[in-house]
Amino acid sequence: METLIVHPENKAQLNAVKQVLKAMKISFERKEKPYNPEFVAKIQESDQNYKAGKFKIIKVEDLWK
């Protein structure tokens, strides 16, 4: 048999594809792509720094100086 990879652009399209497959009694698998672990670690570190008060506030007027 052949494997098809479908790329719906939004949740409505994804739900429609799932409904069609279920109606036709075609089995399918669902696999989620996890975030890159390095990216997750950076976000968590940034969150910890913020909670610890390690951040700098920049006024909008000073952004382009």
| pTM check: above 0.95 | no
Q: Tell me how many domains the chain contains.
A: 1
What pLDDT does 30 receive? 87
- The answer as to whether 62 is a domain residue is no
In a domain, 43, yes or no: yes
In a domain? residue 3: no
pLDDT value, residue 32: 83
pLDDT at 14: 95
Return per-residue pLDDT of the chain as tens, 65 residues: 888 889 999 999 999 999 999 999 999 988 888 889 999 999 999 999 999 999 999 999 988 87
- For every residue of the chain, which 3-state class applies, written as one string? CCCCCCCCCCHHHHHHHHHHHHHCCCCCCCCCCCCCHHHHHHHHHHHHHHHCCCCCCCCHHHCCC
Question: Residue 43: what pLDDT?
Answer: 96
